[in-house]
Amino acid sequence: MSEPHARPRCLVVRVGRLRIDVPGSLGYFGGIGAAVAFGVIEPPLGLFIAAVPLLKMLHRRSLPTPVRFVSEILQGAAQPVDGKAEGTIRLSDPEASAARDVETADSAERGEQIKRGQAVPARA
């Protein structure tokens, strides 16, 4: 299954069960190394950022529950570093907000009709 925004992999090396995107890894770890070398970030932070891919590998259903629990905590801590965290400040989109409001009102109305035992029209 491919991600919708996944970029094509030009050089992937397989080592056992590991798949390593060589150019992506060089850029990722090289960027962290450069940031530490130039004093942009401190070494402990660089080490944490470098560990994010390893933390993601701990998120497997086959692992024991305590390991998965710790993995979830660490992934939550790494989310801002990973770039997948939701922004705390965002521009509002009036059209999207209006569409959500209409959809929410429609859903609430349908719920009330179901509770009253009324026939509910199919959605378009």
In tens digits, what is the pLDDT along the chain, a chain of 124 residues? 444 445 555 788 888 888 888 888 888 899 999 999 999 999 999 998 888 887 777 777 888 888 888 888 877 777 766 665 554 445 556 666 666 666 666 666 776 766 677 666 665 5
Domains of the chain by residue range? 12-82, 91-124
**Degrees to nearest 5, angle at CA 105 with 99 and 109:** 145
Looking at residue 28, what is its pLDDT?
87
Task: Give the integer Cα–Cα distance in Å for 95 and 25.
Answer: 40
Q: Name the β-bridge partners of 20.
A: 13
Structural contact between residues 13 and 22, judged by C-beta atoms closer than 8 angstroms = yes
pLDDT at residue 84 in the model:
57
Q: What is the pLDDT of residue 91?
A: 54
Instruction: For residue 46, count other CB atoms closer than 10 A to its CB.
Output: 19
pLDDT of residue 88: 44
Return the SS3 of 18. strand
pLDDT of residue 64: 87
Q: Return d(Cα 40, Cα 114) in angstroms, integer.
A: 58
Amino acid identity for residue 120 in this structure: V
Which pLDDT value is given to residue 3? 47
The predicted model scores a pTM of 0.53
- For residue 3 the two structure tokens come to 């991600």
